[in-house]
């Protein structure tokens, strides 16, 4: 059984519900900056419900990667996502990048995220590294904590099996070009984003061209969005045009990350790789 089935491409709509976490991880002093905090709080308060409505309009599945601190601060948002039938996955405890954490701190942060999700009734299947900055031990830790897939590494555009010291993990590769952060993020303090906010039509044009290429090449389209960015009205409507383009094409199937990982695991022809060491 091939992971892609009869489709030309599989598409994943994924949302990283970061909220205030990435800003507070830079410095706790930003907690005293109501403007910056409110910009981030828009995600769980307004963006998530609006995006859930869009998904419901087309009965599409999606995966929401939730940091532990977001689950602690907005349990009702997580419950709302779960009630709509969507997958909730692990996105770190505090949204610290494992890259520069020691092993004990990385392990503790991963476990904090698991505990926070457990308190809202979620046992996640998979994980996405905060800021896509894993350490060399991240993947071993994920398998040790019984996570089945990851969506961080960029050395492919199709799923593959990642071999770790503790067993295997399915990798569902994302890419910076399929991330709304680079199109939409702007904060003056703390200074974040490229400084240029793109029109939603430009962002969606970039994503649509990649999707069409992926339909030609039989790939896994992993779109990464943040509700505080992509939950804004014009951006939701642009995302709607992308969804309708994919549905009109007739050869794209939308799946959750967990479903893509499940199909990948059943495909014995999937490439198997270990993390390259340099
Ligand atoms: Zn994030």
Going through 67-133 in order, the beta strands assigned E by DSSP cover: 87-90, 126-127
If you measure from the C-alpha of residue 83 to the centroid of ligand 1, how many angstroms do you get, rounded to a whole number? Answer: 22
Q: What burial class does residue 187 get, using C-beta atoms within 10 Å of its C-beta: 0-12 exposed, 13-18 middle, 19+ buried? A: middle
The structural domain count of the chain equals: 1
The CATH code of the domain that includes 54 is: 3.20.20.370
If pLDDT is split at 50, 70 and 90, which confidence band does 194 have? confident
| Its pTM surpasses 0.85 | yes
**Mean predicted confidence (pLDDT) in 133-148:** 97
If you measure from the C-alpha of residue 254 to the centroid of ligand 1, how many angstroms do you get, rounded to a whole number? Answer: 22
Beta-carbon contacts of 229 under 8 Å, excluding residues fewer than 6 positions away, are 43, 47, 180, 181, 183, 184, 185, 235
Note down the domain range covering 179.
9-274
CA 30 to mean position of chain CA atoms:
24
135 CB-side CA count, 13 A: 20
**Model confidence at 223: pLDDT above 90:** yes
Whether 3 is in a domain gets the answer: no
Whether 101 is in a domain gets the answer: yes
If you measure from the C-alpha of residue 2 to the centroid of ligand 1, how many angstroms do you get, rounded to a whole number? Answer: 30
Please give the share of the chain, as a percent, with pLDDT higher than 90. Answer: 97
Whether 4 is in a domain gets the answer: no
Whether 32 is in a domain gets the answer: yes
If you measure from the C-alpha of residue 225 to the centroid of ligand 1, how many angstroms do you get, rounded to a whole number? Answer: 9
Whether 20 is in a domain gets the answer: yes
Whether 243 is in a domain gets the answer: yes
If pLDDT is split at 50, 70 and 90, which confidence band does 61 have? very high
Specify whether the CB–CB gap between 113 and 133 falls below 8 A: no
Instruction: Quote the pLDDT of residue 195.
Output: 81
If you measure from the C-alpha of residue 277 to the centroid of ligand 1, how many angstroms do you get, rounded to a whole number? Answer: 25
Q: Which two tokens stand for residue 108?
A: 């503790």
Strand 252-254 to strand 272-274: parallel, antiparallel, or no bridges (unpaired)? unpaired
If you measure from the C-alpha of residue 249 to the centroid of ligand 1, how many angstroms do you get, rounded to a whole number? Answer: 30
Q: What are phi and psi of 131, to 5 degrees?
A: 60, 15
- 152-170 core/surface letters (b: 16 or more CB in 10 A; e: else): bbeeebbbbbbebeeeebb
Whether 265 is in a domain gets the answer: yes
Q: Which two tokens stand for residue 115?
A: 């505990």
pLDDT digits (tens, 9 = 90+) for 149-160: 999 999 999 999
d(CA 214, CA 167): 29
If you measure from the C-alpha of residue 253 to the centroid of ligand 1, how many angstroms do you get, rounded to a whole number? Answer: 25
């Amino acid at each position: 059984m091939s992971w892609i089935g009869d489709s030309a491409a599989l598409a994943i709509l994924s949302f990283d519900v970061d909220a205030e976490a990435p800003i507070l991880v830079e410095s706790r002093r930003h907690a005293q900056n109501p403007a910056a905090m409110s910009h981030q709080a828009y995600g769980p308060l307004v963006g998530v419900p609006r995006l859930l409505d869009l998904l419901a309009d087309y009965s599409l599945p999606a995966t929401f990667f939730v940091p532990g601190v977001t689950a602690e601060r907005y349990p009702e948002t997580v419950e709302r996502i779960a009630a709509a039938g969507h997958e909730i996955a692990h996105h770190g405890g505090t949204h610290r990048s494992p890259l520069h954490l020691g092993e004990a701190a990385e392990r503790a942060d991963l476990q904090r995220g698991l505990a926070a999700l457990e308190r809202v009734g979620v046992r996640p299947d998979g994980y996405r590294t905060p800021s896509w900055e894993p350490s060399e031990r991240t993947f071993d830790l994920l398998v040790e904590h019984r996570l089945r897939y990851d969506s961080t590494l960029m050395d492919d555009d199709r799923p593959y099996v990642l071999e770790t010291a503790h067993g295997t993990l399915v990798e569902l590769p994302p890419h910076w070009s399929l991330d709304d952060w680079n199109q939409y993020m702007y904060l003056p303090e703390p200074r974040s984003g490229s400084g240029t906010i793109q029109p939603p039509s430009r962002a969606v044009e970039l994503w649509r061209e990649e999707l069409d290429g992926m339909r030609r090449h039989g790939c896994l389209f992993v779109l990464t969005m943040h509700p505080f960015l992509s939950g804004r009205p014009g951006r939701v409507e642009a995302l709607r045009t992308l969804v309708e383009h994919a549905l009109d094409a007739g050869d794209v199937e939308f799946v959750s990350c967990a479903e893509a990982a499940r199909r990948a695991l059943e495909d014995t022809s999937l490439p198997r790789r270990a993390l390259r060491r340099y």
